[in-house]
């Protein structure tokens, strides 16, 4: 009845940089489509226009995305031999929902690596807490996320006190998660400020989200960690790391969002 991630992010080229698609029903949190899902949907069109996967994509959120048809206007700014830079706008019912700017290329462009980081230590999935939203919402039925027990108490007034969320993520039926799936995962967990404890658990609008795709995940559940360092004057950063089952960092994210007002 509800579309899978691949179905729910399908776009159709109409020529001259115009694409059509649909914000699928059931991908919402409290009625509004998940921000990472919207980013994935828009980015499909940009990637299609240049035939390359996303490497670094930034979205600025303009209005909530409601289920229904959308138009995505794509502008190929530059298409080089290895990389292409593309901007786009996702509109719904005549309203701008999302503005996107990205560079598209394979993630491996050269040699040399040095990693200062590691996947988060997580209890086994069966000891984690399945994510479910504080309000009626379809999104958490479309995806499968589990957070560490200490990160799940905010719903019962037991915030961990640390603005952090870490846990596991997969799609139903272990559907493969590609570069577009990673864009969604970057915004799939509850806002980390819920675990700060000093703010109400409510809508926390993302202003800006940037995702660097660093690899295509190996099959298996992803290990994710999101955290904030700087909550100030009503705004917070949320930094994210997404690691695949082989222990490799596959995406880095960072967003700027508004703390909930209740």
- In this complex, which beta carbon is closest to a second copy, that of residue 173 or of residue 229? 229
Among 121, 126, 173, 229, binds a second copy (CB under 8 A): 229
Query: By CB under 8 A, is residue 129 in contact with a second copy?
Result: no
Q: Is 83 one of the binding residues for a second copy (CB under 8 A)?
A: yes
Residue pointed to by tokens 């776009």: 11
Shortest reach from residue 75's CB to a second copy, in Å: 9
**Rounded Cα–Cα distance for residues 6 and 179 (Å):** 12
- Give the count of beta carbons closer than 10 Å to the beta carbon of residue 217: 23
Nearer to a second copy, 77 or 135 (CB): 77
**Out of 15, 114, 126, 173, the residue judged to bind a second copy by CB under 8 A:** 114
Q: Whole-angstrom Cα distance, residue 86 to residue 80?
A: 11
Transcribe 172-226 into DSSP letters.
Answer: GGG----HHHHHHHTT-SPPGGGGTSSS-SS---EEEEEEEE--PPPSSPEEEEE
115 binds a second copy (CB under 8 A): yes
Cα distances from 224 to residues 83, 168, 251, in angstroms, run 28, 6, 10
Sites of contact with a second copy (CB under 8 A): 55-56, 58, 60, 62-63, 77-78, 83, 85, 87, 89, 96, 99-103, 107-117, 163, 196, 198-199, 207-208, 210, 212, 214-215, 228-235, 237, 249, 252, 254, 256, 258-259, 261
């Amino acid at each position: 009845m509800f579309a899978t991630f691949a179905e729910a992010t399908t776009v159709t080229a109409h020529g001259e940089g115009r694409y059509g698609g649909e914000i699928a029903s059931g991908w919402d949190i409290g009625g509004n489509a998940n921000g990472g899902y919207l980013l994935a949907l828009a980015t499909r069109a940009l990637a299609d226009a240049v035939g390359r996967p996303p490497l670094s994509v930034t979205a600025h959120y303009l209005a909530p995305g409601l289920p229904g048809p959308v138009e995505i206007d794509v502008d190929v700014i530059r298409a080089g031999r290895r990389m292409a830079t593309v901007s786009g706008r996702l509109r719904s019912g005549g309203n701008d929902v999302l503005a996107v700017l990205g560079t598209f290329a394979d993630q491996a462009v050269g040699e040399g690596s040095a990693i200062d980081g590691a996947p988060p230590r997580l209890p086994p999935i069966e000891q984690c807490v399945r994510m479910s939203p504080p309000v009626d919402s379809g999104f958490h039925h479309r995806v499968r996320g589990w957070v560490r027990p200490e990160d799940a108490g905010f719903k019962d007034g037991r915030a961990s006190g640390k603005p952090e969320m870490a846990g596991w993520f997969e799609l139903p039926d272990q559907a493969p998660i590609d570069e577009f799936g990673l864009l969604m995962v970057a915004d799939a967990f509850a806002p980390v400020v819920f675990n700060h404890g000093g703010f109400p658990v409510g809508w926390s609008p993302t202003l800006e989200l940037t995702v660097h795709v660093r690899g295509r995940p190996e099959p298996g559940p992803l290990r994710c960690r999101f955290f904030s360092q700087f909550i100030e004057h009503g705004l917070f950063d949320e930094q994210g790391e997404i690691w695949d089952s082989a222990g490799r960092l596959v995406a880095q994210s960072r967003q700027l969002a508004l703390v909930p007002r209740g």
